[in-house]
Structure 1
Amino acid sequence: METFNNLLLLENYFAEEEFDVAGISNEKGYQIKKLYFQNTDAAYAGKLRQRFPTAETVQSMNDITDDHGIELILISAPKASDFNMLGQVLRAGKHVRIV
């Protein structure tokens, strides 16, 4: 099983519960390196920035697809309209997990 250390969280919505994926923590060597928000409540985005203070917030898909240091993209609750975005990430050779 492959292990990925450099991750990006792609957040698409306002969640009732804070983002959490079992086993994803800095203590285990994982690092959320970047955050990308689309249609996300500003207060919730602020909470995620506080939770991952060293993560860079990026503004475009190119910031994701062109970064060779990002090994895994975590997509939080994608909508049907996000399949184009998912396709871009996969064509860029990124590993993707829907969480």
Structure 2
Amino acid sequence: MSGSESPTIPFSKKVNEKGQLVIPQDQREELTIDGRDALVEFNAKPVSGSESQTILFSKKVDKKGRLVIPKEHRQALSIEGQEVLIEFEAKKVTYLDDENGGDGE
């Protein structure tokens, strides 16, 4: 792995009934999201309900670590309209505020 590649980070987080969550600061640091908006790739699966499938999606995460799981993904995960604990594996793809998507100045 090169120095500019972001690691894949596993974590669990409560998602509210609207699909909103905040990635904790320590996980954002591990993902190398350093106060800039980033595109992050997620594998997500509810902690309860072993029959639930894992969903892969990419989503913008703002500089405060906030994101919303899209409605169609919440429906596929069978979590629409309820507060649920979700297991994630996340990897930063790129920053969104750089013209070149770069990880440096």
TM-score by length of 2: 0.23
Structure holding more strand per residue: 2
Q: Which has the higher contact order (CA 8 A, sep 6+)?
A: 2
Q: Flag the structure with larger Rg.
A: 2
Structure holding more helix per residue: 1
